[in-house]
């Protein structure tokens, strides 16, 4: 079953939220998780025995290397133990090239020179990486490179070759073969990575490869020579990793890697580098502006919208103004839930989809939960139906109806009930209350049978009406804003939990 839609098959661990799979393979072994104590994003890799051994080898490297992905230890999940490591939201430089095109020489310096420096230290200690490729060089939030995937790391006593990524392996690499000195094959891989970043494809075999001067006529001669020597079929003629780094640094000025528009939208807000069009007067100011540019612009809160709609003059208006002010503040506070949770779309297509899905996925026995109840489409449909029910319950001022759509202990239920009590005391009710949802998707997997949904929610215009049916106040439609909501699977089916973010 596809893990991207079957969210209840995602790994869970106390104190952590599973955000999404990071691999399209099934079964998926690599997941993005978030530690609840400090909201730190990390990568969980459900590991095998050999991967555990490789990570133990990686550990001493990460303790002293700035440009190696940090390894945090292991984490127990219901699917078995996994490795947890640093999350690099920029993704791999290979994915970046495939998405936006080739790198400039300055970007190549930023992406590869630190990697070459790190490898030179490893080689001096008699250790090689064994699988340097664009897929194994990731970008941090600040746009700096970090090496990952030390599965082929070997010491001087274990310099058996034959593993690596096709297109980036040295020609002498063969099963059972041995390196004469640690790092010869890593240097070839560095040269192949540089070729890839500049051309968009790995180098061909030497006999088929075009001359460097023909392939890259505008490159400085020193870089042309570096490519020729790094990709030499004779390992003894290749430069060292330290020489590779020094040559890159001396060839041109380093430039920030341009990732804007090509990093996953779910990770963009974590990135810190300067965006196009950002005016920078100093490096410190540039970092500040970059952080601001990386975040989504927040729309006005519903509380501000209330201030634009004073109550219309009516008998006893002063009393209503004072009382309604309290009521509106309560509603604004809870309907940061209404504006977020009341995400029901009124389209006939959505209603038909909900009606079609729910009967076949009804949970009649909690011990036998149908598989379709765990699918993303079913969860989203259930959420749409629940929010429509919530709109109707709030419009009828029915606390009893609300309890049927919330999970046990939901804080949002308490706020909604307080809102209803306040409106009853004021002799007011809602008329025309309706919320629209767009881009509803599952954001994360929480503890137990809990999932987190993300959506863009907007509120249509609605009225406050007194007992005689007179419109006392009109609230204008609100702009769409991004929200996150918990949904909990119980023996009654999916129920609304809490509002996590708005």
Among the candidates 218, 251, 266, a domain finishes at: 266
Highest mean pLDDT among 59-68, 72-81, 247-256: 247-256
**Spatial separation of the C-alpha atoms in residues 343 and 246, rounded to whole Å:** 56
**Spatial separation of the C-alpha atoms in residues 59 and 283, rounded to whole Å:** 33
Name the pLDDT band for 282 (thresholds 50, 70, 90): very low
**Domain count within the chain:** 3
Provide mean pLDDT across the span 269-277. Answer: 60
Provide mean pLDDT across the span 194-219. Answer: 94
* One domain for residues 32 and 133: no
Torsions phi, psi for 245 (to 5 deg):
-65, -45
Asked if residues 49 and 32 have their Cβ atoms less than 8 Å apart, the reply is: no
* One domain for residues 256 and 308: no
pTM of the model: 0.60
* One domain for residues 70 and 111: no
Give the pLDDT confidence score for residue 283 in this predicted structure: 36
Model confidence pLDDT, tens digit, residues 118-164: 999 888 888 888 889 999 999 998 889 999 865 444 434 444 444 67
178 DSSP β-pair partners: 160
Output the six-digit token pair for 230.
Answer: 């790094």
Tell me if 176 is assigned to some domain.
yes
Reference 427, options 329, 336, 324; nearest CA is 324
* One domain for residues 61 and 133: no
Reference 353, options 437, 446, 445; nearest CA is 437
Where is pLDDT greater, at 230 or 283? 230
Output the six-digit token pair for 73.
Answer: 């230890």
* One domain for residues 235 and 175: yes
Place of tokens 């080898």: 57
Among the candidates 25, 58, 86, a domain finishes at: 86
* One domain for residues 407 and 470: yes
**Spatial separation of the C-alpha atoms in residues 458 and 435, rounded to whole Å:** 6
Output the six-digit token pair for 293.
Answer: 């540019």
Tell me if 277 is assigned to some domain.
no
Place of tokens 């970043």: 197
| Residue 356: alpha-carbon gap to chain centroid | 31
Provide mean pLDDT across the span 62-75. Answer: 76
Among the candidates 71, 86, 101, a domain finishes at: 86
Q: What is the CATH number of the domain that holds 13?
A: 3.30.200.20
Give every CB contact of residue 131 below 8 A, 6+ residues apart in sequence: 149, 151, 152, 163, 164, 165, 189
Output the six-digit token pair for 254.
Answer: 């380093």
* One domain for residues 209 and 345: no
* One domain for residues 54 and 159: no
Say whether pLDDT at 169 is over 50: yes
Output the six-digit token pair for 432.
Answer: 């025309």
Reference 461, options 444, 486, 436; nearest CA is 436
Tell me if 262 is assigned to some domain.
yes
Tell me if 232 is assigned to some domain.
yes
* One domain for residues 65 and 105: no
**Spatial separation of the C-alpha atoms in residues 209 and 206, rounded to whole Å:** 5
Provide mean pLDDT across the span 2-10. Answer: 71
Q: What is the CATH number of the domain that holds 130?
A: 1.10.510.10
Name the pLDDT band for 493 (thresholds 50, 70, 90): confident
pLDDT, averaged across the chain: 75
Q: What is the CATH number of the domain that holds 395?
A: 3.10.450.50
Output the six-digit token pair for 61.
Answer: 């490297």
* One domain for residues 82 and 112: no
Domain span holding position 244: 93-266
* One domain for residues 426 and 323: yes
Q: Is the dihedral of CA 270, 132, 198, 241 positive or negative?
A: positive
Give the pLDDT confidence score for residue 136 in this predicted structure: 92
Strand ranges in 201-357 using DSSP code E only, listed in sequence order: none
CA atoms within 13 A on the CB side of 109: 15
Give the pLDDT confidence score for residue 340 in this predicted structure: 35
SS3 state of residue 477: coil
* One domain for residues 73 and 152: no
Name the pLDDT band for 54 (thresholds 50, 70, 90): low
Where is pLDDT greater, at 174 or 455? 455
Q: Which of 106-115, 164-173, 334-343, 416-425 has the lowest mean pLDDT?
A: 334-343
Tell me if 162 is assigned to some domain.
yes
Where is pLDDT greater, at 242 or 353? 242
């Amino acid at each position: 079953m596809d893990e991207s839609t079957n969210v209840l098959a995602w790994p869970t661990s106390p104190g952590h939220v599973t955000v999404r799979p990071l691999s399209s393979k099934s079964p998926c072994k690599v997941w993005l998780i978030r530690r609840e104590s400090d909201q730190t994003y990390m990568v969980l890799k459900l590991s095998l025995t050999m991967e555990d051994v490789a990570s133990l080898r990686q550990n001493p490297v990460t303790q002293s290397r700035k440009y190696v992905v940090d390894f945090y230890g292991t984490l127990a999940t219901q699917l078995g133990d996994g490795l947890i490591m640093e999350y690099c939201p920029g993704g791999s430089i290979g994915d970046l090239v495939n998405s936006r095109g080739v790198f400039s020489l300055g970007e190549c310096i930023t992406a590869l020179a630190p990697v070459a420096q790190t490898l030179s230290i490893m080689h001096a200690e008699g250790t090689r990486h064994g699988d340097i490729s664009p897929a194994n060089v990731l970008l941090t939030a600040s746009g700096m490179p970090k090496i990952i995937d030390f599965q082929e790391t070997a010491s001087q006593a274990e310099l058996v070759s034959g593993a690596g990524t096709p297109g980036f392996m040295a020609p002498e690499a063969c099963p059972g073969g041995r390196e004469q000195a640690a790092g010869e094959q890593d240097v070839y891989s560095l040269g192949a990575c540089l070729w890839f970043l500049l051309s968009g494809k790995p180098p061909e075999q030497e006999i088929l490869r075009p001359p460097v001067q023909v392939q890259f006529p505008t490159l400085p001669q020193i870089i042309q020579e570096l490519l020729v020597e790094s990709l030499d079929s004779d390992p003894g003629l290749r430069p060292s990793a330290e020489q590779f780094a020094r040559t890159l640094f001396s060839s041109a000025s380093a430039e920030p890697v341009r990732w804007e528009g090509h990093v996953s939208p779910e990770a963009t807000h974590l990135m810190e580098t300067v965006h196009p069009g950002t005016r920078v007067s100093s490096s410190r100011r540039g970092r500040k502006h970059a952080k601001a540019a990386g975040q989504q612009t927040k729309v006005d809160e519903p509380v501000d919208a209330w201030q634009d709609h004073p109550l219309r003059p009516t008998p006893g208006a002063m009393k209503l103004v004072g009382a309604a002010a309290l009521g509106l503040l309560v509603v604004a506070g809870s309907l940061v839930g209404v504006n977020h949770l009341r995400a029901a779309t009124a389209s006939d297509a959505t209603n038909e989809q909900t009606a079609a899905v729910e009967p076949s996925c009804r949970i009649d026995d909690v011990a036998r939960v149908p598989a379709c109840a765990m699918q993303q489409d079913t969860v989203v449909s259930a959420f749409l139906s629940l929010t429509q029910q919530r709109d109707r319950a709030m419009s009828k001022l029915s606390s009893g109806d609300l309890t049927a759509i919330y999970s046990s202990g939901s804080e949002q239920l308490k706020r909604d009930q307080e809102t209803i009590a306040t409106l009853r005391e004021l002799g007011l009710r809602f008329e025309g209350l309706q919320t629209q949802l767009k881009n509803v998707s599952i954001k994360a997997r929480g503890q137990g049978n809990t999932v987190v949904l993300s959506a863009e929610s907007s509120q249509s215009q609605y009225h406050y009406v007194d007992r005689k049916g007179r419109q006392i106040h009109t609230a204008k439609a609100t702009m769409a804003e991004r929200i996150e909501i918990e949904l909990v699977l119980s023996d009654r089916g999916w129920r609304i939990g809490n509002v996590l973010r708005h």
